[in-house]
Amino acid sequence: MSKENVISKKEPFARMVKRDHISVGKAWAIRLIAVALSLVVAALVIVAITKQNPIEVYLGIIDGAVGSNRRIWVTIREMMVLLCIAIGLTPAFKMKFWNIGAEGQILMGGTAAAAMMIYFGEKMPNWLLLVVIFVVSGLAGLIWGVIPAIFKAYFNTNETLFTLMLNYVAMQIVTFCIVFWENPSGSNTVGIINAATKGGWFPTIFGNAYTLNVIIVLIITLVVYIYMKYSKQGYEISVVGESQNTARYAGIDVKKVIIRTMMISGAICGIAGAVIVSGASHTISTSTAGGRGFTAIIVAWMSKFNPLAMILVSGFLVFMQQGSIQVASQFGLNENASDIITGILLFFLIGCEFFINYKLEFRKKGEK
C-alpha cells in the first residue's frame, strides 16, 4: 500500500465505544426492542412455513401457551423446571465453572427418582417416598456434578468437555436402566411408572397437580438467592469466579470451593430431574432433560444470575416454546419448530446486550 492510498481513504463513519454506565430503564428498553424484533422474525419464519396470517399464528401461540387452564399449568410447570435448572447452574457459573453437564445431572437425578418410584412405590407412604426421592436424586446429581469438579480442582481438567461427555455417559446409564425397567416388555420404554397407584407422584395440592412443583422450585430459588448474596460461601464463590489469584490471596481454599459449589449445583440439577420425573412426566427416557440443561445456561447467563430476571426469561422462552409446539401440531409439523423459535429469540436477546454495553459514536471534524 502506498502512502497516497492511505491519504485518500475515507474516515470511518461511526465507531463503537464502550459505555460507562447505562440507566436501567434504557437497558430494559433495548431488551424490549430486541424481544419485539425477535417476535417479528419468528413470525416471518412461521408464516414462511405455514403460509398463515401472522396475527393468527400469534393468537395460536398465545392460545397454545395459556389458552386453557391445563395449558397454563403446563406452561408454568415447564417454566419452573427451566428456572430450577438455571438456578442450579447459577453457583457454578458465578464461579466461572462452565457446567454444561446439567443434562447429565438432570438425567441422573431423574433416573434415581424413577428407581425409587419403581422399587419403593408400594413399600412406603407417599410423603416418605417423596422425601427419599428428593434426597436420592439430589445425591445422584451431586455425584455427577462433583466428579468433573474434583478433576478441575486437582488437575485443572477442562470442565466444559468433561461435563459434556458425562451427559452422554448419563444417557447410556438411562438406556442401560431401561433394559431392566421396560414396560411393556419389548417397547424399549419405561412407560408411565405407577400409573395406577401414583406412588412417588407429586400429590395434588389445592386441586392442582403442579402446585408442589411451584413450591419446591420457588423455595430453591429463594434459598440460592440468599446463599449467593449474603453468605460467606456465596462471597467465596464470587471471588473465585472473578480471580483465582485473589482467592488464594484472600486465603480461600479454591479447590474446596470448586468442589463444594459443584456439589450444590449438581444436587439442584438432580432435584430438577426429580421434579420432571415425579412431578410431571412420571417416566424416564434419554430425552427427559430434553436440551433444557443447555437452554438454562443461556437463561442464567442472560439474566446475569438475577433470579427475578431468570423468572422473566424462562417464562418468556417457555411461553413461546409451548405456543409454537401447539401451532406446529395444528399444521401437522413436528414439535422441533419450538427449537427454531427458541434459537431465534436467543440470538436476539444475546445480540442486544451489545447495545447495552456499547454505543455507536459518529466522528466530528476538529475545528481549530
Partner 1 sequence: MTLLLTFIQKAIGQGVAILFGASGEIVTEKSGNLNLGIPGIMYMGGIAGLMGAFFYEKSTETPNGAIGVLVSLLCSLIASALGGLIYSFLTITLRANQNVVGLALTTFGVGFGNFFGGSISKLAGGVGQISVQTTAAAYRTTIPGLSKIPVIGTLFFSYGFLTYLSVIVAVVMTYFLKKTRRGLNLRAVGESPATADAAGINVSKYKYVATVTGAAIAGLGGLYFVMEYLGGTWSNNGFGDRGWLAIALVILALWNPDHAIWGSFVFGGLYILYIYLPGLNRATQELVKMLPYVVTIIVLIITSKRNKQENQPPASLGEAYFREDR
Partner 2 sequence: METGNAIELKGVTKRFGDVIANDNVNLTVRKGEILSILGENGSGKTTLMNMLSGIYFPDEGEVYVDGKEVTIRSPKDSFALGIGMIHQHFKLINILTAAENIILGLPGKEKLNMKQVEKEIRELTEQYGFDLNPSQKIYDMSVSQKQTVEIVKVLYRGADILILDEPTAVLTPQETEKLFAVLRNMRKAGKSIIIITHKLNEVLELSDRVAVLRKGKYIDTVETAKATVESLTEMMVGEKVKLDINRTEPVGAEKRIEMRGITCKNKEGLKVLTEASFTAYSGEILGVAGISGSGQKELLESVAGLQPIESGEILYFSPEGTTEKISEMKAEDIKNLGITLSFVPEDRLGMGLVGSMDLTDNMMIRSYKEGRHFFADRKSPKKLAEDIVEKLDVVTPGVDTPVSRLSGGNVQKILVGREIASNPTVLMVAYPVRGLDINSSYTIYNLLNDQKKKGVAVICVGEDLDVLLELCDKILVLNSGKVAGIVDARTTTKEKLGLMMTGLTEDKNE
The entry of partner 2, partner 1, none near residue 329 (CB within 5 to 8 angstroms by kind) is none
Interface residue with partner 2, options 158, 172, 243, 287 (CB under 8 A):
243
Q: Within 295-314, which residues bind partner 1 (CB under 8 A)?
A: 295, 297-298, 301-302
Smallest separation (angstroms) from partner 1 to the CB of 346: 4
Q: Does 23 bind partner 1 (CB under 8 A)?
A: no
Q: Within 216-245, which residues bind partner 1 (CB under 8 A)?
A: none
Q: Does 14 bind partner 1 (CB under 8 A)?
A: no
Q: Does 12 bind partner 1 (CB under 8 A)?
A: no
φ/ψ of 17, rounded to 5, equals -130, 140
Q: Does 24 bind partner 2 (CB under 8 A)?
A: no
Is the CB of 179 or the CB of 367 nearer to partner 2? 367
Q: How many residues make up the chain in this entry?
A: 368
Is the CB of 189 or the CB of 244 nearer to partner 2? 244
Q: Is 218 exposed, middle or buried (0-12, 13-18, 19+ CB in 10 A)?
A: middle
For residue 132, give the nearest of 146, 141, 142, 121 by alpha carbon.
121
| Size of site (CB under 8 A) for partner 2 | 40
Q: Is 151 exposed, middle or buried (0-12, 13-18, 19+ CB in 10 A)?
A: middle
For residue 38, give the nearest of 319, 330, 368, 363 by alpha carbon.
319
Smallest separation (angstroms) from partner 2 to the CB of 17: 7
The one-letter amino acid code at 143 reads I
What is the C-alpha end-to-end distance of the chain, expressed in Å? 31
**225: which 3 cell numbers?**
438467592
Is the CB of 53 or the CB of 248 nearer to partner 2? 248
Smallest separation (angstroms) from partner 1 to the CB of 165: 4
Q: Is the bond into 148 cis (omega within 30 degrees of 0)?
A: no
Q: Within 180-199, which residues bind partner 1 (CB under 8 A)?
A: 180
Q: Within 317-356, which residues bind partner 1 (CB under 8 A)?
A: 332-334, 336-340, 342-344, 346-347, 350-351, 353-354
Is the CB of 212 or the CB of 299 nearer to partner 1? 299
Spell out a b/e string for 287-301, using b for 16 or more CB atoms within 10 Å of the CB, else e. Answer: ebbbebbbbbbbbbb
Ordered DSSP codes for 255-266: HHHHHHHHHHHH
Q: Does 157 bind partner 1 (CB under 8 A)?
A: yes
Q: How many CB atoms lie within 10 A of CB 275?
A: 30
Q: Within 222-241, which residues bind partner 2 (CB under 8 A)?
A: 230-236, 238-239
**Cα dihedral angle (362, 366, 367, 368), rounded to 10 degrees?**
170
The entry of partner 1, partner 2, none near residue 194 (CB within 5 to 8 angstroms by kind) is none
In eight-state DSSP terms, residue 191 is -
In eight-state DSSP terms, residue 134 is H
Is the CB of 120 or the CB of 301 nearer to partner 2? 301
Q: Does 357 bind partner 2 (CB under 8 A)?
A: no
**220: which 3 cell numbers?**
430453591
Is the CB of 5 or the CB of 334 nearer to partner 2? 5
